[in-house]
Amino acid sequence: MIHYDEVQAAIAECEGVRRPNANTCLKLAALYTIRDNMQQEQERPKTQQTKHAGYSFATEQNKSHATDYSSESEFGHIVTGKDVESVLTVIDELLSTLQGMIPRLYAGVMGKLKDID
The stretch 82-106 carries a mean pLDDT of 86
Q: What are the residue boundaries of the structural domains of the chain, listed by start?
A: 1-45, 59-117
Q: Does 2 score more than 50 pLDDT?
A: yes
Q: What is the pLDDT of residue 114?
A: 92
60-81 burial string, b = 16+ CB within 10 Å, else e?
A: eeeeeebbebeeeeeeeeebee
pTM of the entire structure? 0.45
Plot region of 81 (φ>0 → left; ψ -120 to 50 → alpha; else → beta): left
Q: Which residues lie below 8 Å from residue 37, measured CB to CB, with a gap of 6+? A: 54
Dump pLDDT digits (tens) for 30-85.
888 888 887 777 776 655 544 444 554 444 444 557 777 777 888 888 888 888 88
